[in-house]
Structure 1
Amino acid sequence: MARASDEPRGPGAPPVVDVRALVGEGREAIIRHNGESYRLRITAANKLILTK
C-alpha cells in the first residue's frame, strides 16, 4: 500500500498523502466533507480530478 512521503516537513505543514493510499488499486475514491461526497478520480492522462 502507498504511504505518505518521507520528505522532511516543518511544523504546521499540511499532511502529505500518496493518492494510492486513497484509491488503492482502483482509480477513484469518494471523499466526504461536511456531509457532502466528492469523487477523486485518476484520469486516463494520469491527472487528478475532484468533483462534487
Structure 2
Amino acid sequence: MLSWALLFFIVAIIAGVAGFTGIAGAATGIAQILFFIFLILLVISLITGRRAP
C-alpha cells in the first residue's frame, strides 16, 4: 500500500510540473489517504504482534 501512495505522489509531482493542477490535487489527496491507511494498518499490526511460531 505504501508503494501505491508513493506512485500517486510521483504522479502528483509530474502533473504539477506539467501544469495539470486538477490532476495533481487529486493524486495528492489519494496519496495522503493511502499513506494514512498504511500507517493505521502498521500500528494495528504492531499492537497485535502477529509472529510466526
TM-score normalised by L of structure 1? 0.20
- Structure with higher Rg: it is 2
Where relative contact order (Cα < 8 A, 6+ residues apart) is larger, the structure is 2
TM-score (norm 2): 0.20
Higher helix share: 2
